Structure 1
Amino acid sequence: MDRMQALGTQDYRNALRLLCGASDAAGDVMSFAREGVADLSRLVASEITTLSICDPLRHTRRVLSNPEGAISAADRLCFDHYFSVHPLVRYHFSHPGGGAWRISDSLSQRDFCASALYNDYYRRIGIDHVVAVPLFVDEGLLVSFVLNRTGRDFSDRECALLDLVRGPLSAFYRLAQSRQPAPGGFAQLPLTRREREVLTWLAAGKTDREIAAILGASPRTVQKHLQHIYGKLGVETRTAAVMRAMELTLRRLAAHPGAGVQASV
């Protein structure tokens, strides 16, 4: 059965309420992250909720988490040890268009509890059920909201709720990055002023022609700026450029966490 068929009127109302809050908080990345990890925990019960950024090249994860201090530095190092075999990381990198995915969708609970990942990491933080909601996936970056709890697994209805809000949350996240004020936003990237302007409008969803009209330039000039941006950020596509810029910004923001959110690198 299609997961969405399990949703009722109240589920849609709750999802709309969450998205209204996320929209209001999309003025900057930290506000969006703080609102997201708090409100998702209310939409779908979760003992630990994180905004997680996984880097497959470095086999590391950075997190913004709620409640604060739920994941220690030692916990993060332990997670990194199992990065390449983590079922959620592996699934979303191999299925970039996939939606909400539980560990139990990849492993039986018996096999999961017998794994080194569970006994070395999840047991120590008191968690035995996990679901990840991807916002963006490419070969170099995985950005997800991750919900963790103990006692009972996430139901199909709860996963349907998470899938319902996933697309808009991804768009709000990108919008929050495009609005990020200096010095926390694109101002500190290794780009010229004009390249930052192009990237900002790109993050806002504008086409080459629209950016050209806004900046008083030709579409060809905008395309040249984009090629320079791609080279400097080490990416090949428009979407990847925006997401890489978001990742670099979050690394800086992680050094100065906002109230109520743990930022970890």
Structure 2
Amino acid sequence: MPVDGRRVLGGGPNHLVWSGHPAGRPLTVPDGLLGRDALEAFARDKAADPLVARMTAGPGTPLLRSDVQSRAEYHALAAYADVYRPLGIEHQLAMAFPAGCTADGPRGVCLAVNRARGDFGDADRATADLLRPRLVRAMRRLAPPGRERVTRREAAVLDLLARGLTDRQIARRLAISPRTVEKHLEHAYPKLRARGRVDAATTWPSLAGGGPEGRSRPLPDPPEPA
């Protein structure tokens, strides 16, 4: 499925399209993959494409082109004439998933497998269902949130959170109040692009960087107010 930030792998009747989006800002399209006219046509026509809409706004679970429209409806799309037909795309299996972070924020990826002949079936969908969570984990390791944004005190709290300690237990270990633990976590969540304590606890140990032990060094804590 051609979308902003696309990379087309392979050629001929079967190929794979991989497209990445940091939050709010599409990636730059690499030169030479698609012509300017095709890119402009896709940007112009994608709002009317139900599969693109489901991948953009839906849960991202594997979906076939034939799940959302008939062959005649697909061929009636403006994008079919301008983009899909020239690429020989008659059948598609697409999925979307979170894929770590860039400097601009969280990134999502849409992956589409395209065929010229023969629709995808239940076995293909099942394979995509198995592959999707593995891709999420792999992309998170390749492009993790920035550990370097976290202060030393937030890092200490996250270290204990990742070991399964409660806020009260963390507070006793660090000689601070449970409310202070909550505040450190509240400040750390957006830095990790985490949705909550469970997400932070699983994300934190996977982060790596350029520190002496393979980790980025946390920032110093801000001074306490006078």
TM-score in terms of structure 1 length: 0.49
1:237 aligned onto 2:203: no
Q: 1:79 aligns with which of 42, 46, 57?
A: 42
Q: State the Cα distance separating 1:50 from its structure 2 match.
A: 2.8
For 2:138, the equivalent position in structure 1 comes to: 172
Amino acid at match of 1:128: E
Amino acid at match of 1:133: M
Identity of matched residues, %: 28
Indicate conservation of the 8 Å contact 1:48/1:70, yes or no. Answer: no
1:11 aligns with: none
Q: Is the 8 Å Cα contact of residues 78 and 121 (structure 1) preserved in structure 2?
A: yes
Please report the RMSD computed on the Cα atoms of aligned residues, expressed in angstroms: 4.7
Aligned equivalent of 2:20: 53
1:225, distance to aligned residue in structure 2 (A):
4.7
1:46 Cα offset (Å):
7.5
Aligned residue for 2:73? 111
Residue equivalent to 1:132:
94
Shift of 1:115: 1.1
Give the aligned partner of residue 115 of structure 2.
Answer: 149
How far, CA to CA, are the matches of 1:209 and 1:124 in structure 2? 57
| 1:7-86 correspondence runs (5 A) | 47-54=14-21, 69-86=32-49
Equivalences, count: 179
**Partners of 1:168 and 1:75 in 2: CA distance:** 32
Question: Offset of 1:92 from its aligned partner?
Answer: 3.4
C-alpha contact (below 8 Å) 2:154/2:184 kept by paired residues: no
Alpha-carbon distance between aligned partners in 2 of 1:168 and 1:91, rounded to the nearest angstrom: 21
Structure 1 position 177, deviation (Å): 1.8
* Structure (1 or 2) with the greater helix fraction: 1
CA distance in 2, matches of 1:75, 1:237: 37
Give unpaired runs (5+ residues) of structure 1.
Answer: 1-33, 179-184, 244-265
1:80–1:162 distance in 2 versus 1, CA, 3 Å: same
User: 2-side partners of 1:56 and 1:129: how far apart?
Assistant: 28
Larger-gyration structure (1/2): 2
Cα offset for 1:91? 1.8
Structure 2 residue corresponding to 1:186, chosen from 146, 169, 188: 146
The one-letter code matched in structure 1 to 2:14 is E
TM-score (norm 2): 0.55
Runs (5+) with no aligned partner, structure 2 = 1-6, 100-105, 204-226
Deviations 1:145-203 (A, max 9, x none): 2212212222222122111211122122112223xxxxxx738x9x46659969x98xx
In 1, Cα distance between equivalents of 2:120 and 2:153: 43
Greater RCO (Cα-Cα under 8 Å, separation 6 or more):
1
C-alpha spacing 1:153/1:146, structure 2 compared with 1 (3 Å): same
Structure 1 residue 163 corresponds to structure 2 residue 129: yes
Distance 1:116 1:72, change over 3 A: same
Match of 2:64 in 1: 102
- Give the Cα–Cα distance (whole angstroms) in 2 for the partners of residues 135 and 46 of structure 1: 25
Please state whether the residue corresponding to 1:111 is helix, strand or coil.
helix
Mapped contact 2:19–2:111 kept (Cα < 8 A): yes
How far is the alpha carbon of 1:63 from its aligned partner? 6.7
